[in-house]
């Protein structure tokens, strides 16, 4: 048993899955949840993701050894700091946010003595929302990024790494800015592109979509609030990622216009090599 | 039993699936396959997709009531015409090509009397190739487009529609150019975009991809030869589809640069509505 009490802030898909995973793998005696609505907390309890639900941080954080913030990226840093008076000595804080640099920068150096924060991002999720879709194995075999800066406490870092490994993840330690630049390419740009593809589809051709269109645009079903907050946190890197993408589109366009099929084919071949390398 | 003999030209994923479906649903007494390699024909026979394999069209087409061309789009029209001397009177010809206008235009009016061609495109498939991935239920519940022009024979059209319905598909009858314009939006542009996204991914971030990137780029694993031929057949419509897509990217870019988060959110919301309307 790694912790007596783990408290999850925001018991939706990610938070709920962490609760289920922590309980199934016996990482905590009790899993608590903090939410804004009693009904959401009831749902999380009904699916077994949390043992106890709280609307207020005070009683939820008392005695917790680990607190995991699974709220939207634009809420995480504020909440971590707002709850400062409620943490018990030695509490470890982490999060599951899709962006890291601005969260880590906003929190570092602003916590009470003895309270450590280490940023995390489990690369697992779904376009679905809510604890009903929670899955104890969501993190199994997936990568979790854990962030390190010159101010990161080594013992807190080790405990955070051990936690993600305990829920089945592989762990990669990264500098926050490196994480954000990489995720701009692997997640934020694909989301923007999928939204652009879905957004321009005329209603009269909806019935002519098949699995290809549905796969390519699946992430566009994600929550617009969550994703506009992610884009706002990582605007610079996302705009940087757009540049090579637009450049590649222009290469395709020029080759199509000129009827240079060997260029089209070599662009497609190079893309296939990358995609094949990623596996299913 | 709709046909005594069905002959499938190109028994790969699509052709093999049609063979399995035709046999399982008892649409033909015998399913024959025409291929370029004995080994491929053996594989198709091993999985039960065809009963008999042929390298030459003569014996394979003799007595066939239905011939389905499941070869790459740049081969279909040539093959249909090349085999002209081999069809038995009353044979119905169709295909499974992803583009329709240039195939239909190349074939119409050039076949021997009594031989009818009706274009088809089953909106089912995969980035996978070959008869090992063939699936008798590939067409079940999917849409098949069947083309109609002023020269289309009504009896041949009805038989073609009935065939696709018999393998489980819903059928939509379209003018070839309308099909190609719609598919530029729903399939060819998404393929190009997925290839652009996969193609620019730096190797050092491969490990930071998750299901989102993999879904968004899945189709980019498709065969570069097949897809460059599809792009070549539908260049005009594909370039036309690129325009609104590039326009939407520019809207995103401008909103990101200006920090107009309400615009970003409303673009994402509109995309989500479309994607939600499409279902899984």
Q: Would an 8 Å CB–CB cutoff place A175 in contact with chain B?
A: no
- Measured in angstroms, the CA of A199 and the nearest CA of chain B are apart by 4
Question: In this structure, how many other beta carbons lie within 10 angstroms of the beta carbon of residue B231?
Answer: 24
Beta strands in B148-258 (DSSP E): 170-174
- The residues near B7 (Cβ < 8 Å, ≥ 6 apart) are B31, B32, B33, B34, B60, B61, B64, B66, B67, B68
Residue B1 has pLDDT above 70, yes or no: no
Beta strands in A27-169 (DSSP E): 28-34, 52-54, 66-69, 92-95, 116-118, 120-122, 143-147
Q: Residue B162 — pLDDT band, cuts 50, 70, 90?
A: very high
pLDDT of residue B280: 83
Strand order, beta sheet including A92-95 = A52-54, A28-34, A3-9, A66-69, A92-95, A116-118
- pLDDT, averaged per 10 consecutive residues of chain A (280 residues), comes to 93 95 96 96 96 97 98 97 97 98 98 97 84 92 97 98 97 98 98 98 97 96 96 98 98 98 98 96
* Residue B35 to residues A280, B19, B31, B96, B98, Cα–Cα distance (Å): 29, 13, 13, 16, 20
Chain B residue with the nearest C-alpha to that of A195: B271
Crossing angle for the helix pair A38-46 and A13-24, to the nearest 10 degrees: 40
Predicted model pTM: 0.95
Which of A34, A25, A31, A33 is CA-nearest to residue A4?
A31
Q: Would an 8 Å CB–CB cutoff place A171 in contact with chain B?
A: no
Q: Would an 8 Å CB–CB cutoff place A141 in contact with chain B?
A: no
- Residues of chain B with Cβ-Cβ distance to A267 below 8 Å are 195-196, 199
Crossing angle for the helix pair A235-258 and A176-183, to the nearest 10 degrees: 30
Question: Residues B16-56: pLDDT tens digits?
Answer: 999 999 999 999 999 999 999 999 999 999 999 999 999 99
pLDDT of residue B60: 98
- Integer-rounded Cα Rg, in Å, for chain B is 21
Instruction: Report the DSSP beta bridge partners of residue A66.
Output: A6, A92
Q: Would an 8 Å CB–CB cutoff place A55 in contact with chain B?
A: no
Contact between B211 and A128 under an 8 Å Cβ cutoff? The reply is no
């Amino acid at each position: 048993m790694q912790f007596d009490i783990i408290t999850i802030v925001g018991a939706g898909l990610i938070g709920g899955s962490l609760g289920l995973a922590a309980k199934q793998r016996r990482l905590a005696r009790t899993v608590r949840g903090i939410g804004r609505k009693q009904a959401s907390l009831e749902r999380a309890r009904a699916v077994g993701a949390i043992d106890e639900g709280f609307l207020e941080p005070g009683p939820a954080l008392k005695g917790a050894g680990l607190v995991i913030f699974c709220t939207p990226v634009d809420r995480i840093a504020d909440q971590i700091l707002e709850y400062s008076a409620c943490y018990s000595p030695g509490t470890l804080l982490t999060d599951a946010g899709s962006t890291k640099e601005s969260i880590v920068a906003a929190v570092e150096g602003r916590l009470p003595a003895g309270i450590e924060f280490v940023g995390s991002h489990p690369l697992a999720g779904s376009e679905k929302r809510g604890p009903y879709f929670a899955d104890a194995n969501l993190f199994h075999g997936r990568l979790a990024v854990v962030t390190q800066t010159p101010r990161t406490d080594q013992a807190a870092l080790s405990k955070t790494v051990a936690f993600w490994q305990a829920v089945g993840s592989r762990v990669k330690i990264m500098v926050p800015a490196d994480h954000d630049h990489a995720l701009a390419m692997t997640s934020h740009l694909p989301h923007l592109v999928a939204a652009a593809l879905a957004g321009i589809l005329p209603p009269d051709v909806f019935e002519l979509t098949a699995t290809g269109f549905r796969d390519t645009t699946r992430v566009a079903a994600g929550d617009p609030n969550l994703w506009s907050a992610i884009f706002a946190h990582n605007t610079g890197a996302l705009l940087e990622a757009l540049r090579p993408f637009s450049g590649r589109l222009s290469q395709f366009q020029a080759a199509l216009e000129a009827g240079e099929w060997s260029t089209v084919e070599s662009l497609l071949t190079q893309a296939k090599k990358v995609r094949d390398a990623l596996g299913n």
